[in-house]
Amino acid sequence: MKAGLLLVALAALMISAPSAYAVIGWTGNVWPCNNATFAETQDITVYLEVYKAGVTDSYGQGAGIAVKLFYKQESAALYDSVVMVYNVDKGGDPPANDEYMGTIPNAALEGGVKEMAYTVVTDETDGTTCPPTSLYGCGGDQCGNTPPFYYTITAATRQDVTVRFRLCLTAGVETAGDVCVTGGHAALTDWGSGVVMSRPCLDSSPKYYEVDVLFPAGSSPGIEYKYKKDDCATWEGTGNHSFVIDDTAPIQVLWEDGWEYNTPDCPPCTTPVDSSTWGRIKALYR
């Protein structure tokens, strides 16, 4: 599979006339996180949150904020850019931040090329920028990384792959109903309701869950996911899990996850043999 990196730069520019508003207080929560993997056949939508007191901390888009998404291959001399548009309010009720989104077209993606990402925010009410003296160090991603960010670009998967997700609800973790897995792929409901997991060995390991999910050929191989419990209503509070689809075989069994990255402590999963059924099968060949 071809592999490369996509260079992305985000810049949020204040375009309003000078006013008494405070300067931009914060930018961040960039998504996707550093080292995310994408197929060169898909677009990449990038998200960024901006906070400015008296501007973004009310419902709807704050006035006077324009955001651009810059991207280029490392070897290129100039950046390409797209306008990032207001998406939703973020950060509570009432909200604190405005979230913007912009899309890098797949035509710009090429495997085997290294690229990087960073954010620059300029408030034209007083000319201040974030960061003040360097391109890097401002506007971190949702996984706690600081710029520059790297996005790995690779070929799409070449065949259908069934992936088995495995979870242990560790000691002290209980659920009032079903457990699900969800994530950034249609097969995982695109961070939606989730795929309900089963308990294949209820007697020997009652807190062990698993489910098989089919990822069709042509999928982006980099997958991020989380688990939800309590009838798929309570999300893990820790960072996303991730893996890369291995399309060298039609089946991939993932490691056993622990809820919120706890070390799995579920007993081994053993399924009793149905001796009566086995006896009937042997009788067919007598």
Of the ranges 30-39, 78-87, 158-167, which is most confident? 158-167
Q: Which residues, 6 or more positions from 8, have their beta carbon under 8 angstroms from its beta carbon?
A: 44, 46, 69, 70, 71, 104, 115, 116, 117, 149, 151
279 located within any domain: no
Kindly state whether residues 173 and 142 are assigned to the same domain. Answer: no
80 located within any domain: yes
| Total tally of structural domains belonging to the chain | 2
pLDDT recorded at residue 210: 98
What is the DSSP code string of 258-285?
EGGGPPP-PPP------HHHHHHHHHTT
Q: Assess contact for 131 and 140: CB atoms under 8 A.
A: no
Q: For the residues 271-278, what does the mean pLDDT come to?
A: 51
Q: How many residues does the chain have?
A: 286
pLDDT recorded at residue 93: 85
Both tokens assigned to 268: 């081994």
Q: Report the alpha-carbon distance of residue 203 to residue 111 in Å, rounded.
A: 48
pLDDT recorded at residue 182: 98
Q: Of the ranges 10-14, 65-69, 87-91, which one carries the lowest mean pLDDT score?
A: 10-14
Of the ranges 19-28, 86-95, 104-113, 257-266, which is most confident? 257-266
Kindly state whether residues 52 and 96 are assigned to the same domain. Answer: yes
Q: Is the pLDDT of residue 81 over 90?
A: no
271 located within any domain: no
pLDDT recorded at residue 138: 65
15: pLDDT confidence band, cut at 50, 70 and 90?
Answer: very low
pLDDT recorded at residue 1: 44
Kindly state whether residues 16 and 95 are assigned to the same domain. Answer: yes
pLDDT recorded at residue 226: 97
Kindly state whether residues 187 and 83 are assigned to the same domain. Answer: no
Q: What pLDDT, in 10s, does the model give residues 190-227?
A: 999 999 999 999 999 999 999 999 999 999 888 999 99
Q: Domain holding 176: CATH number?
A: 2.60.40.10
pLDDT recorded at residue 139: 76
Kindly state whether residues 255 and 165 are assigned to the same domain. Answer: yes
Q: Report the alpha-carbon distance of residue 154 to residue 230 in Å, rounded.
A: 36
pLDDT recorded at residue 73: 75
Q: Of the ranges 8-17, 88-97, 245-254, which one carries the lowest mean pLDDT score?
A: 8-17
Kindly state whether residues 139 and 166 are assigned to the same domain. Answer: no
pLDDT recorded at residue 124: 59
Q: Assess contact for 67 and 83: CB atoms under 8 A.
A: yes
Q: What pLDDT, in 10s, does the model give residues 40-50?
A: 888 889 898 98
Q: Is 8 left (phi over 0), alpha (psi -120 to 50) or beta?
A: beta
Q: What pLDDT, in 10s, does the model give residues 133-143?
A: 555 556 788 88
Q: Please report, for residues 201, 203, 218, 285, 286, the alpha-carbon distance to residue 278 in angstroms, rounded to integers and kept in the order given.
A: 19, 20, 40, 12, 13
Q: At which residue do the structure tokens 């075989």 appear?
A: 249
Q: Of the ranges 78-82, 153-157, 239-243, 264-268, which one carries the lowest mean pLDDT score?
A: 78-82
Q: Assess contact for 223 and 242: CB atoms under 8 A.
A: yes
Kindly state whether residues 33 and 117 are assigned to the same domain. Answer: yes
Q: What pLDDT, in 10s, does the model give residues 102-147?
A: 898 888 877 655 555 555 666 656 666 665 555 555 678 888 887 7
Q: What percent of the chain has pLDDT over 90?
A: 43
Q: Please report, for residues 53, 97, 128, 198, 253, the alpha-carbon distance to residue 207 in angstroms, rounded to integers and kept in the order given.
A: 46, 39, 53, 10, 18
Q: Assess contact for 36 and 91: CB atoms under 8 A.
A: no
- Residue 53 DSSP label: T
First-to-final CA distance of the chain: 51
- Residue 206 DSSP label: T
pLDDT recorded at residue 38: 85
Q: What percent of the chain has pLDDT over 70?
A: 77
List the domain range (segments joined by +) for residue 254.
Answer: 161-261
Kindly state whether residues 211 and 88 are assigned to the same domain. Answer: no
Both tokens assigned to 100: 């913007």
183: pLDDT confidence band, cut at 50, 70 and 90?
Answer: very high
47 located within any domain: yes
276 located within any domain: no
- 163: three-class secondary structure by DSSP: strand
pLDDT recorded at residue 276: 47
